[in-house]
Structure 1
């Protein structure tokens, strides 16, 4: 069984890698998509935004679906749907087809993400769990940091004349292979004690609407000059989400099963950990945004040269993630301060790469211990809901980070000074990394042994359940 459990990990990591990669891999394909499909600006924007919107809107409900119907079953369904949707994207003959396929692809990714987190928590215990989460953090980080480089390489290679379509079609053989071995390698859990009738459909609609009302204007608002509808959406998001919370409390008080067990937030370690995760993923997304512009437009590097500089970020992350430590947050902050200094001095690209090596190391040291400790603070029966909330926070944090950093960056670029704009964006990221350090330090550590004992008891009495 031990060998089988470890054989399951690559399948889970492949799923999380390709779904995370698809957030970024299409960015470099946008010009080719516009030219090939004769797509307008709005359509092209929704090729990117549609995926993120569907992903963010579906995560909490997807975590609950795993609790209700079994995490392996929902994982297999999500993987099959993601593979089919990727084929649909690659075969799209028009912009509308591509946008619809991307929305379906994002919804499938939302089905997968909470199941991966929960299955890792169920399959591994103690030191093995820490190792598994370390590899999970490595997969997420590498996919996020290298997405644009991989996308650019696929488009440039133009294998078989596929061009931008390769960014999506590459998922098909990978997904099919993973799906073929999922049933054999991922053990079937014990039956869930929760009845399928417990799914709160009304709550799912409310939380999806609330998240779309937050994410959509943040993605599209700046591109369209912050029209009135964007502000109305943001204003409506608060009441919608408050209504969702009240509905969840009402269902819990009446003895019915809510979509999200709000008791997960009573644990201070979990709540503070979520804030740290949001800031970390916001920092990562904001950095990717700033680097893409500064290296190519500010330093006039070509796509391949810019990608070569960014490999330092990936290398630092990968090496450090092999032996993560709690010093990750200070190292991340130090790396961003070094990067700020390098840009301020207009240093050559190799010095930018050296600073990025430190930034990547900080992220690699921090990511997997943070994710693992956040989920370990939650009781096993709440694992699916907590994983869904964690995934939602990751996605929303990334959108907020890129949007806020972009707004500050372009606000400072009015005079055409790329270095000043980059420094303004990096100031936001330094503040965000400082928040990661503060919230990670505030998280109580005394509860970790308690969580470990709970997991050990669950393992003795529930097995893989």
Structure 2
């Protein structure tokens, strides 16, 4: 058994070394982070486009809700499978496919003649984004090491934050500019030149990487996880707006059963795959070169788990996922309640609300650009702790501003937003890095799929939970104040979960 594991680890180490030997081509980060930015932007820019597209396409409330929900649902359901596809078929290849499909789907969104066509195009966009997302994290994990990896993940965090924080402002500016009379359609069509430019550089700038062993996909696992995640995310998206009808509870119960069955199936498949690897390695050690080749070809046809459950033996990965969940529970929900407060409670239009968001952006830009230097000194756990405490303090200031200056100008919110942005910039990259740092390169795609799924599911659950707090308050000021107070408590939970992470000194963090 140990011989098999040693053989596998040696092969994976050689593959990782070969990937990094390509010296991470100069354009690698701009290409993959362009895809990250487009995905983050398209999650939030639709909030601004809804009033215009509703009038233009004659879309009813249900269709408008699906324009927003279809993207998130397809994205969440496809991430785990997409991560393993990259391990098997090559991360560059799957990334390029996702980028091409995302660009085409964006064109279809921008040219949609009906609300139904727009919904279908948004679902296609979400599936394409699911193909790209895990590949970005896996490429960052395998193409960089040490301080360069920390800088790369810091840029990743910066890009995600800029897309999220400035998405509403960018959408408002595009609609106000009314480029070529396109109105809301420009929010989607802007992806065409960006996507095509990135596609032209993929082959030149991205090294190919994949798992050393490339066994077949697990069709039962694909079915279970897709149905399970769909059943989980769909009622969380639709339930709040429909008053949580009976079908949402039944759907959630079924999803939990499906995901439990998926977990059991993945554990069994992991055990079988590990035993097969051990037997193959022992056989290869005693057979001739010809027999060894035949054995390798045979092994390539074996089924591998979508999620190798040995990942969860790593304390850094398991605790990192919990920290990811706590962090992302608060992000989408915070942006939602802030947008509602600014537009419904304070009477701002989309562009005005987007301008207020810049206060978060300024704080975020200040810290996200230097996070890699902070983690080099403090290590990821301490950096996340500092960031979480800053976010809790910023949210506390927002609660005070909401109650103390309810009739005052919106810029009373700016100090709290700025401090919250400072904390976000310190958390978003390290909380992703710490979960992936100890993962073997051959499992990078699978691990990235799990991390990306936790981000999406955490966002959906957070919106549902904070929605209950917000809409249960009645008064707009009280709704916002209670929501940000609950979110401040959640950030303190994140700080507590950091204690589960393995400790590392700043110098070790910088070298690893």
Q: TM-score if structure 1 supplies the norm length?
A: 0.93
In the alignment, structure 1 residue 406 sits paired with structure 2 residue 467: yes
Q: How far is 1:449 from its partner?
A: 8.9
Report the equivalent of 1:241.
259
Q: How far is 1:437 from its partner?
A: 1.0
Deviations along 1:211-267, one digit per CA (max 9) or x if unpaired, are: 111110010011112111111101111110011111112222323411110111121
Q: Does the aligned pair in 2 maintain the 1:115–1:384 contact within 8 Å?
A: yes
Q: How far is 1:51 from its partner?
A: 0.4
Larger mean CA deviation between 300-309 and 54-63 belongs to 300-309
Report the equivalent of 2:500.
442
Q: How far is 1:408 from its partner?
A: 0.9
Task: Pick closer, same or farther for the CA change 1:31–1:305 going to 2, 3 Å.
Answer: closer
Larger mean CA deviation between 112-121 and 31-40 belongs to 31-40
Partner of 1:25, secondary structure, is helix
In the alignment, structure 1 residue 75 sits paired with structure 2 residue 95: yes
Report the equivalent of 1:369.
430
Q: How far is 1:3 from its partner?
A: 7.3
2-structure distance, mates of 1:447, 1:250: 37
In the alignment, structure 1 residue 194 sits paired with structure 2 residue 213: yes
In the alignment, structure 1 residue 285 sits paired with structure 2 residue 343: no
Report the equivalent of 1:332.
391
Q: Does the aligned pair in 2 maintain the 1:86–1:169 contact within 8 Å?
A: yes
Q: Does the aligned pair in 1 maintain the 2:211–2:442 contact within 8 Å?
A: no
1-structure distance, mates of 2:76, 2:464: 15
Q: How far is 1:335 from its partner?
A: 1.1
Partner of residue 24 from structure 1, selected from 39, 44, 61: 44
2-structure distance, mates of 1:258, 1:89: 35
Q: Does the aligned pair in 1 maintain the 2:217–2:305 contact within 8 Å?
A: yes
Report the equivalent of 2:365.
318
Q: How far is 1:442 from its partner?
A: 2.5
Report the equivalent of 2:479.
421
2-structure distance, mates of 1:213, 1:107: 16
Q: Does the aligned pair in 2 maintain the 1:85–1:105 contact within 8 Å?
A: yes
In the alignment, structure 1 residue 226 sits paired with structure 2 residue 244: yes
Report the equivalent of 2:189.
169
Q: Which has the larger radius of gyration?
A: 2
Partner of 1:412, secondary structure, is coil
Q: Does the aligned pair in 2 maintain the 1:379–1:451 contact within 8 Å?
A: no
Task: Pick closer, same or farther for the CA change 1:205–1:450 going to 2, 3 Å.
Answer: farther
Report the equivalent of 1:299.
346
Task: Pick closer, same or farther for the CA change 1:291–1:367 going to 2, 3 Å.
Answer: same
Report the equivalent of 2:488.
430
Q: How far is 1:34 from its partner?
A: 1.5
Q: How far is 1:128 from its partner?
A: 0.4
Gaps of 5+ in 1: 456-465
Q: How far is 1:301 from its partner?
A: 2.7
Q: How far is 1:343 from its partner?
A: 1.2
Size of the aligned set, in residue pairs, is 449
Partner of 2:307, secondary structure, is coil
Report the equivalent of 2:157.
137
Q: Does the aligned pair in 1 maintain the 2:24–2:143 contact within 8 Å?
A: no
1-structure distance, mates of 2:142, 2:348: 46
Q: CA RMSD in A?
A: 1.9
Partner of 1:265, secondary structure, is helix
2-structure distance, mates of 1:412, 1:339: 17
2-structure distance, mates of 1:171, 1:435: 37
Q: How far is 1:351 from its partner?
A: 2.3
In the alignment, structure 1 residue 378 sits paired with structure 2 residue 439: yes
Task: Pick closer, same or farther for the CA change 1:192–1:371 going to 2, 3 Å.
Answer: closer
Report the equivalent of 2:223.
205
2-structure distance, mates of 1:271, 1:192: 21
Q: How far is 1:427 from its partner?
A: 2.1
Task: Pick closer, same or farther for the CA change 1:174–1:404 going to 2, 3 Å.
Answer: same
Partner of residue 275 from structure 1, selected from 303, 307, 322: 322
Task: Pick closer, same or farther for the CA change 1:452–1:207 going to 2, 3 Å.
Answer: farther
Deviations along 1:37-72, one digit per CA (max 9) or x if unpaired, are: 112211111111010000000000000000000101
* Runs of 4+ deviating beyond 6 Å: 447-453
2-structure distance, mates of 1:97, 1:297: 29
Gaps of 5+ in 2: 1-20, 274-302, 375-382
Q: How far is 1:156 from its partner?
A: 2.1
Q: How far is 1:4 from its partner?
A: 5.4
Q: Residues 108-187 of structure 1 correspond to what in structure 2 (within 5 A)? A: 108-187=128-207
Report the equivalent of 1:261.
308
In the alignment, structure 1 residue 341 sits paired with structure 2 residue 341: no
Partner of residue 79 from structure 2, selected from 31, 48, 59: 59
